[in-house]
Amino acid sequence: MPNILVPVDTEIDVDVNVKDFLEDCSDYEIEEAIDWLKDKDYLKNTDTDRQVCATELEYMEALDKLHTKWNVLSKEEEAFILNLAKRF
């Protein structure tokens, strides 16, 4: 009697320790994971094609802080930022 293979859709839940998983990844796989995290906006893309001076870096860090804390700004602070942005 011949063997008949029947496809079965099976879903399996696996609990994986993230540190253990990443430690077993190759450098290439880590780079792929980082690229995926950047694409999904879990990580900021910090690649730059030029040198950033300290003043510009401080400015960019300040903007990042405002970006993540927009919901705690007062109405006056929000209006100031929006009006400033409209100038440019």
pLDDT tens digit at each of 88 positions of the chain: 677 877 778 888 888 899 999 999 999 999 999 889 988 888 877 665 566 677 888 888 888 888 888 889 899 999 999 999 999 8
- What is the domain extent for residue 68? 49-88
Cα–Cα distance for residue pair 26/83, rounded to 1 Å = 48
Cα–Cα distance for residue pair 73/55, rounded to 1 Å = 24
The DSSP letter of residue 87 is T
- Whether residue 23 lies inside any domain: the answer is yes
Amino acid at 44: K
Is the model's pTM score more than 0.75? no
Q: What are 42's two structure tokens? A: 């879990």
Q: What are 46's two structure tokens? A: 């910090």
- Whether residue 6 lies inside any domain: the answer is no
- Whether residue 3 lies inside any domain: the answer is no
How close are the terminal C-alpha atoms of the chain, in Å? 78
